[in-house]
Amino acid sequence: MKDQYGRTIDYMRISITDRCNLRCRYCMPDGVELVSMGEILTYEEIERICRAAALEGVQKFKITGGEPLVRKGCVDLVKRLKAIPGIDQVTLTTNGVLLGEYADELAEAGLDGINISLDSMDAARYQWITGRDELSRVLQGVETALTVGLKVKINVVLQKEVNESEWEALAELAKYRPVDVRFIEMMPIGYGKGLCPVYNEDILQTLREKYPQIEPDGRVHGNGPAQYYKIPGFQGSIGFISAIHGKFCGNCNRIRLTSQGELKPCLCYGESYDLREALRGGCTEITRNAADESCVLSDNGQICENDLKEIREILRKAITQKPKQHCFEQLQNITEDKRMVQIGG
Ligand code: SAM
Ligand code: SF4
């Protein structure tokens, strides 16, 4: 479906949990309160929203969190989303800690690609950033993902005086392994507010000094706003998601579903549409063979034909109301006050 600015919205990010096995300082530091499981969408509710989204033209889903792999049944969700008519891609973003355990099953479930967040190659610094001593498990997870044939992208957030010196070690992951490495500018959302981002133009400049032959890579690498570069001799590419300086909103293709069922038209603003309320105010169970919008059972066993209709209406409204652009460069105008761990990045 197109929004009021003519952008095609065909991609939905779905946060399936606000739980995480790491405690990244900029996302979910120690002590953050969790919401009760009853407030989190069930997998059935997520699937129902996804079926409605597919009917509105969404073709790609990204499963995120919190840490999606800490929620039991995540692999099964991948299978269920892959089976929805009209869906051509399901990918997942993870911190990689549990990837060694699940990579095989995820590949078998048909996952189309995996983004692994990794901000440091130094064990002590990794632990300082994430609150946990898990670097070796993450690196093992990257290897297992590659071994089972998953397409891997590494997401890096650099901060001044924390891990900025690691630009080279992290970029070089793409030299020795067939992975794309993407630098994401820290966004002033949640605990990221007030932290010191490293700007992508500076990283690119530093890369140019080290690798003068770096050049733009015109190939399409994914669904997002990343701009890619190639370095001769590297197996993967280097990507830049310049949230602050690269106003990529003109090509924005996405909406976001939080773990509590809020549908967000834009990351920057607090405005959202309550799909959980819409779902729970009506039907609560879905029949496993309900392949279309007209065959859904309510909790009293009655067929509720309007179920997806209402969700579709909300989806249409959210897409239509999608703001023209974010305002990360004007901090006073950012109205989102949720944490990134609730939104899913
Ligand atoms: N736990 C998974 C992971 O770490 O990949 C998925 C959820 S996490 C919220 C998704 C991505 O958001 C991660 O790559 C993380 O680094 C990024 N992120 C979190 N807070 C951020 C912020 N304020 N600015 C930019 N990226 C952020
Ligand atoms: Fe967890 Fe990912 Fe947030 Fe780190 S960035 S705390 S791994 S959700």
**Longest C-alpha distance within the chain, in Å?**
67
Q: Which atom of ligand 2 is nearest to the CA of 95?
A: 7
Phi, psi for 174 (deg, rounded to 5)? -75, -15
**Which residues are 2's β-sheet partners?**
8
Strands (E), the chain: 11-15, 60-64, 89-94, 113-117, 152-156, 180-184, 215-216, 227-230, 238-241, 254-257, 262-264, 273-274
Ligand 2 site: residues with CB under 6 angstroms?
Answer: 20, 22-24, 27-28, 65-67, 95, 117, 130, 341
Distance between CA atoms of residues 213 and 335, nearest Å: 41
Distance 77 CA to ligand 2 centre (A): 20
| DSSP 8-state class, residue 191 | G
Which two tokens mark 326? 């974010």
Q: Which residue has the tokens 């106003």?
A: 247
Structure pTM? 0.92
Q: What is the pLDDT of residue 163?
A: 97
**Cα-based distances in Å from 155 to 94, 234, 268, 299, 319:** 10, 17, 20, 41, 27
Residue 248 token pair:
């990529």
Helices and strands in the chain, H and E counts: 11, 12
Helix 74-82 to helix 43-55 angle (10° resolution) is 20
Of all protein residues, the one whose alpha carbon is nearest to atom 11 of ligand 1 is 345
The rounded Cα 127 to chain-centroid distance in angstroms is 22
Q: How far from 51 is each of 106, 288, 291, CA to CA, in Å?
A: 21, 12, 8
pLDDT given at position 282: 60
Q: What is the pLDDT along the chain (345 residues), one digit of tens a residue?
A: 999 999 999 999 999 999 999 999 999 999 988 999 999 999 999 999 999 999 999 999 999 999 999 999 999 999 999 999 999 999 999 999 999 999 999 999 999 999 999 999 999 999 999 999 999 999 999 999 999 999 999 999 999 999 999 999 999 999 999 999 999 999 999 999 989 999 999 999 999 999 999 999 988 787 778 999 999 999 999 999 998 877 789 889 999 999 999 999 999 999 999 999 999 986 544 443 444 444 444 554 444 546 689 999 999 999 998 999 888 888 888 898 888 888 888
- Look at residue 239 and give its three-state secondary structure: strand
On the 0-12 / 13-18 / 19+ scale of CB atoms within 10 A, 331 is exposed
Rounded to a whole number of angstroms, the distance between the first and last alpha carbons of the chain is: 22
- Taking the centre of ligand 1 as the mean of its atom positions, its distance from the CA of residue 97, in whole angstroms, is 14
Question: Which one of 137, 340, 341 would you pick to mutate in the ligand 1 pocket, going by the greatest count of ligand atoms within 8 A of its CB?
Answer: 340
Rounded to the nearest angstrom, the gap between the alpha carbon of residue 119 and the centroid of all alpha carbons in its chain is 16
Collapsing DSSP to helix, strand or coil, 263 comes out as strand
Determine the pLDDT at residue 304. Answer: 52
Q: Cα(178) to centroid of ligand 1, in Å?
A: 22
Helix/strand/coil for 285: coil
Backbone region of residue 142 per phi and psi (left: phi > 0; alpha: psi in -120 to 50; beta: other values):
alpha
Q: Which atom of ligand 2 is nearest to the CA of 97?
A: 7
Alpha-carbon separation of residue 35 from 17, 40, 110, 224, 292 (angstroms): 10, 8, 31, 29, 31
Q: How many residues does the chain have?
A: 345
